[in-house]
Structure 1
Amino acid sequence: TSPKPVFLVNPFEELQNANTLDEKTLQDKFIDIINQQGLAPGLKMDSCESRPDNAEIDQDRQKVDAAIWREDLAPTNNKPHWVDQLIPVEFKAWKSGGDYQDPYHDDPTVPGGVVVRPSQLRTKNFEQIISYAELVFAVQHRLAVFMLVVVGRVCRFLRWDHSGAVVTQALDYYEDWQFFCDILWRVSRCSNEQLGVDPSATRLSDADKESEDMTLAAVANRDELDHTERQLDVPPEAPFTFAYVREMFSNSLDKQWPRYKLEVPDGTVKRHFLVCKPMFRAKGLIGRGTRGYVALDCDTGRFVWLKDAWRAYYLLLEKEGDVLAKLKAAEVPNVPTVVCHGDIRDQTTLTSQEWELKNPQPSPSAGPFRASEQPRDGVPSTSSSSKRKWTDDGDGADVPPLKGLDGAKITYREDSPLRIHRHYRLVEEEVAMPLSDFETGEQLVFIIGDCIFGESRVSLSRTLHRDVSGGNILIYPRVIWASGGRVWLMKWTGLLADWEMSKPILDEPAGKFPRQPERTGTWQYMSVALLSWAKLVEICDELEAFFYVLLYHAARYLRSNLEPITLANYLDAFFDQYSLTDDGYQCGTQKLAAIATGRLTVKAGVDLKFDEPMNHLICTLLSWFKSHHVV
Structure 2
Amino acid sequence: MGAAGVEGQFVGPMPIEDMLKLLPVVDMKTKFVPSFEHDFFSALDTQDEEKETRDSFIQRLEESQAISGFQLVNSSTYSYADSKPLVPDVVAYKQSVAVPQNSIDYMELELIFEFRTQQDKADPFDHRATKDSIDSESQLDSTESQHPFEARGDANKVCPRRIYNYAKMWLGAQHRTHCYIVDIGDPYARIIRFDRAGALVSEQINYRIDGHLLLEFLWRHSQTTDEARGHDTTVRMVPLDDEKVKLAQSKLYQWRPQDHNVKVLEMDIPTSAGGVAHTVYVWGALSEPHSLIGRATRGYPAWDPSRPEGEDIVFLKDSWRSCASGMEKETDILQTLNKHGVRNVPQYLYGDDIPGHRTITQDYTEAKWNAGGVAKDVMKRVHIRFIEDVVGLPLWEFENPRQLVVAIHDAIIAHQDAYQICGILHRDVSLGNILRRRDGKGGVLNDWDLAARYNIETHTPLKDKRQQSRSGTWQFMSIGLLEDPSKVHHCIDDAESFIWALLYCTMRYMKTSIVPIRLQNTMEDLFDQVNRGLPGELNTGGAGKQSFVTGNRFSFGGFVVNDNEPLTSLIAKLFKSIILEFRIRLAGSHIHIDELIEDHQFTREQAQETFIRETNELGVQLYLLMESTLKDSLSKDWPKSNPGWHDHLRHQNS
What's the CA shift for 1:460? 1.6
* 1:312-342 deviation digits (Å, cap 9, x = unpaired): 0134422112211221221111111112121
How far, CA to CA, are the matches of 2:132 and 2:68 in structure 1?
A: 34
CA deviation after TM superposition for structure 1 residue 628, in Å: 2.4
Residues of 2 paired with 1:511 and 1:543: CA distance?
A: 20
| Structure (1 or 2) with the greater helix fraction | 2
- For residues 150-549 of structure 1, the aligned pairs below 5 Å read 150-207=184-241, 209=242, 212-219=243-250, 246-248=253-255, 250-251=256-257, 254-257=260-263, 259-268=265-274, 269-300=276-307, 302-358=312-368, 416-461=376-421, 462-478=423-439, 491-506=440-455, 513-514=464-465, 516=467, 519-533=470-484, 534-549=486-501
Q: Deviations over 1:114-146 (max 9, x none)?
A: 823234343232111111111111111111111
Residues 352 and 420 in structure 1, CA contact (< 8 A), matched pair in contact too? yes
CA offsets, 1:560-588, max 9 Å, x none? 11222312111111111134689953332
Q: CA 1:60 to 1:539, structure 2 compared with 1: closer, same or farther past 3 Å?
A: farther
Q: Specify the alignment match of 2:570 in structure 1.
A: 617
Alpha-carbon distance between aligned partners in 1 of 2:73 and 2:365, rounded to the nearest angstrom: 33
1:68, distance to aligned residue in structure 2 (A): 1.8
AA in 1 matched with 2:543: T
Aligned mates of 1:590, 1:253 — CA distance in 2: 37
Which residue number in structure 1 is paired with residue 584 of structure 2? Answer: 630
Q: Is the 8 A contact 1:254 1:277 kept in 2?
A: no
Q: Deviation digits for residues 565-622 of structure 1, max 9, x if unmatched?
A: 312111111111134689953332221123345x7x439x994322322211111111
- The letter for the 2-side match of 1:535 is K
Q: Looking at secondary structure, tell me which structure has more strand per residue.
A: 1
Q: Structure 1, residues 127-174: CA drift from partner, whole Å, max 9, x if none?
A: 111111111111111111111122222211100001111111221111
Secondary structure at 2:367 match in 1: helix
SS in 1 for 2:366: helix
User: 1:43 and 1:580, CA in 2 relative to 1: closer, same or farther beyond 3 A?
Assistant: closer
Cα drift, residue 495 of structure 1: 0.9
Residue aligned with 1:148, SS: strand
CA deviation map 1:348-387 (0-9, x unaligned): 11111111224899xxxxxxxxxxxx9x9xxxxxxxxxxx
For the structure 1 residues 351 and 145, does the alpha-carbon distance in structure 2 shift closer, same or farther, using more than 3 Å as the test?
same
Q: Aligned residue for 1:70?
A: 94
Q: Count the aligned residue pairs.
A: 530
CA distance in 1, matches of 2:499, 2:463: 31
Q: 1:28 maps to which residue?
A: 55
Please say if 1:117 is aligned against 2:154.
no
Task: Determine helix, strand or coil for the equivalent of 1:107.
Answer: coil
Matched, 1:37 2:61: no
TM-score by length of 1: 0.77
Change (3 A) 1:257 1:146: farther
Residue aligned with 2:338, SS:
helix
Change in Cα spacing, 1:256 to 1:91, as seen in structure 2 (3 Å) is farther
Q: Secondary structure at the match of 2:149?
A: strand
- Is the 8 Å Cα contact of residues 139 and 257 (structure 1) preserved in structure 2? no
CA distance in 1, matches of 2:299, 2:462: 37
SS of the residue aligned with 2:236?
strand
| CA distance in structure 2 between the aligned counterparts of 1:117 and 1:8, rounded to whole angstroms | 31
**Which of these residues, 589, 593, 615, is aligned with residue 543 of structure 2?**
589
Q: 1:212-236: CA deviations, max 9, x gaps?
A: 313223237xxxxxxxxxxxxxxxx
The gaps in structure 1 that reach 5 residues or longer are 221-244, 362-373, 377-412, 479-490
Shift of 1:14: 2.9
Bigger mean CA deviation after superposition, 39-48 or 325-334: 39-48
Kept after mapping to 2: 8 A contact 1:252/1:276 = no
- Equivalent pairs: percent with the same residue? 27
Give the match's secondary structure for 2:108: coil
Do the aligned partners of 1:315 and 1:515 also contact (CA within 8 Å) in 2?
Answer: no
Alpha carbons 2:429, 2:494 under 8 Å: kept: yes
Distance across 2 between alignment mates of 1:329 and 1:138? 35
Q: Measured at CA, do residues 254 and 262 of structure 1 come closer, stay the same or move farther in structure 2, by a change above 3 Å?
A: farther
Secondary structure class of the residue paired with 1:306? strand
In 1, the alpha carbon distance for the partners of 2:181 and 2:462 equals 42
Letter in 1 for 2:53: L
Which consecutive residues of structure 2, in runs of 5 or more, have no partner in the other structure?
1-29, 134-146, 586-654
- Alignment match, 1:135: 169
